[in-house]
């Protein structure tokens, strides 16, 4: 029987503790019971977040499905979901600047990419080639500048800008070694710091039945305002990791992940000034129906110190629930959505849109590129 790998995208964040003597704080911990049913609360996204719509230019050279990889002050990096190697550079108004494709087997090329990190200050793009275990660096015209291999046998995931000189990411191996997060030099890939979190035993996202396996991918590193939330699903505690190396525990799950069968994972997501969005996801998959990994969408209200079962709406649609399945991009962009042009055209015809999105939809053709919705922290 063929091995089936089924991937469901979820937003999340969690855990990290560090070596190197990082200080820890234990104030204001949030306790989340992943087995509990919470009261329902409806939220309007625009009540606590800013929304920016980017209409991507459509022409013969710029046809994309609109997967956002990174966003800077002046440009936005977009790819396709099929990993065809195309990297589209648009400005923040949506005008196409150029398309880069360096996919191949050569030393200056990537085989596939997972993360693409924009360093706008240095006019560089970092392409994480997961399979080849290396990171390649290009300028904004697609010219190769340098590359560096991953350390030991590790695979890198969830890589972000940490500061002007460093990246932050997650390393795991298939040799049953304990995973950790890394602070990585942008110049030569050397490891500045390893960040470890203690846990009893390694938990995985895979459900295996005979020769078949199913998994939900998740983000192990996520920006949270000026800090980072680091993810280790084998742990019961969620930490903020500050630029100075301080670890601050913010969420504790109950019951322990090590006492559950099947496991229910705590997957924190978008974190705002008012709300922490969290998912409780059950590690169960039915290979006959192709369905599983059901979850409860939760929100912790920092103002009244209460956890709710959350339904989130985009106020520019009439009564349309918002399912955010994309992780934070950087410290400015808390999350994003790619809105298909044909769906917006239909919603416009049905009178289901208002505000800026209605104005945009009135100008669209069904074959146009998607409209990118950036969800930003209020200033």
pLDDT of 324 reads 67
Site of tokens 């930003």:
376
Do residues 201 and 236 touch, judged by C-beta distance below 8 A? no
Within a domain: 6: no
Residues in the chain: 379
Within a domain: 7: no
pLDDT of 326 reads 76
Do residues 74 and 91 touch, judged by C-beta distance below 8 A? yes
Query: DSSP secondary-structure letter at 258?
Result: G
- Tell me, what CATH number does 41's domain have? 2.120.10
Within a domain: 5: no
Within a domain: 17: no
CA 90 to chain CA centroid, nearest Å:
20
pLDDT of 325 reads 63
Do residues 218 and 12 touch, judged by C-beta distance below 8 A? yes
Sort strands 247-254 and 30-33 into parallel, antiparallel or unpaired: parallel
Listed in sequence order, the residues at least 6 apart from 144 whose beta carbon sits closer than 8 Å to its beta carbon are 102, 108, 136, 137, 138
C-alpha–C-alpha distance, residues 97 and 108, integer Å: 22
Within a domain: 25: no
Domain that holds residue 193: 30-377
Do residues 307 and 41 touch, judged by C-beta distance below 8 A? no
C-alpha triplet 37, 375, 12: angle, nearest 5°: 45
pLDDT of 95 reads 97
* Residue 276 burial (CB count, 10 A): 23
Residue 341, classed as helix, strand or coil, is helix
What the block records as the tokens of 352 is 């289901």
Sheet of 221-224, strands arranged across: 30-33, 247-254, 237-241, 227-230, 221-224
Within a domain: 327: yes
Peptide bond into 255 cis (omega under 30): yes
Within a domain: 348: yes
Written as tens digits, the pLDDT of the chain (379 aa) is 433 333 333 323 333 333 333 333 345 799 999 999 999 999 999 999 999 999 999 999 999 999 999 999 999 999 999 889 999 999 999 999 999 999 999 999 999 999 999 999 999 999 999 999 999 999 999 999 999 999 888 999 999 999 999 999 999 887 777 899 999 999 999 999 999 888 889 998 999 999 999 998 888 999 988 899 988 999 999 888 998 888 889 899 999 999 999 999 998 888 899 999 999 999 999 999 999 999 999 999 999 999 999 999 999 998 777 766 677 899 999 999 999 999 999 999 999 999 999 999 999 999 999 999 999 998 8
Within a domain: 116: yes
Domains held by the chain: number: 1
Q: Which residues of 47-83 are buried (b: 16+ CB within 10 A; e: fewer)?
A: eebebebbbbbbeeebbbebbbbbbbeebbbbbeeee
C-alpha–C-alpha distance, residues 42 and 246, integer Å: 34
pTM of the model: 0.88
> DSSP readout, 267-313?
EEEEE-SSEEEEEEEE--EETTTTEE--EEEEEEETTTTEEEEEEEE
């Amino acid at each position: 029987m063929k091995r089936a790998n089924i991937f469901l995208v979820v937003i999340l964040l969690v855990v990290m503790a560090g070596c190197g003597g990082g200080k820890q704080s234990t104030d204001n911990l949030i306790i989340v019971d992943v087995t509990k049913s919470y009261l329902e609360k409806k939220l309007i996204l625009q009540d606590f977040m800013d929304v920016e719509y980017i209409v991507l230019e459509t022409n013969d050279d710029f046809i994309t499905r609109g997967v956002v990889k990174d966003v800077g002050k002046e440009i936005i990096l977009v790819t396709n979901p099929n990993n065809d190697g195309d990297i589209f550079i648009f400005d923040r108004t949506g005008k196409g600047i150029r398309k880069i494709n360096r996919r191949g087997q050569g030393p200056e090329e990537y085989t596939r990419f997972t993360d693409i990190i924009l360093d706008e200050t240095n006019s560089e793009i970092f392409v994480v080639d997961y399979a080849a275990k290396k990171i390649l660096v290009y300028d904004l015209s697609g010219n190769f500048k340098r590359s560096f291999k991953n350390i030991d046998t590790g695979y890198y995931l969830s890589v972000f800008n940490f500061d002007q000189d460093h990246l932050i990411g997650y390393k795991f191996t298939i040799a049953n070694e304990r995973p950790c997060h890394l602070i990585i030099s942008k110049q030569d890939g050397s490891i500045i710091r390893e960040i470890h979190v203690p846990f009893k035993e390694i938990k995985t996202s895979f459900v295996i039945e005979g020769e078949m396996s199913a998994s939900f991918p998740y983000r192990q590193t996520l920006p949270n305002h000026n800090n980072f939330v680091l993810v280790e699903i084998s742990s019961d505690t969620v930490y903020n990791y500050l630029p100075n190396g301080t670890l601050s525990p913010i969420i504790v799950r109950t019951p322990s992940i090590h006492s559950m069968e099947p496991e229910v994972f705590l997957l924190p997501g978008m974190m705002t000034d008012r709300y922490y969005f969290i998912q409780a996801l059950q590690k169960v998959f039915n290979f006959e129906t192709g369905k599983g990994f059901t979850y409860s969408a939760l929100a912790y209200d920092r103002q009244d110190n209460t956890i709710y079962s959350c339904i989130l709406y985009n106020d520019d649609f009439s009564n349309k629930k918002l399912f955010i399945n994309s992780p934070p991009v950087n410290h400015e962009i808390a999350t994003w959505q790619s809105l298909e042009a044909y769906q917006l055209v239909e919603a416009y015809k049905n009178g289901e849109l208002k505000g800026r999105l209605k104005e945009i939809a009135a100008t669209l053709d069904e074959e146009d590129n998607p409209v990118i919705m950036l969800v930003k922290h209020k200033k």
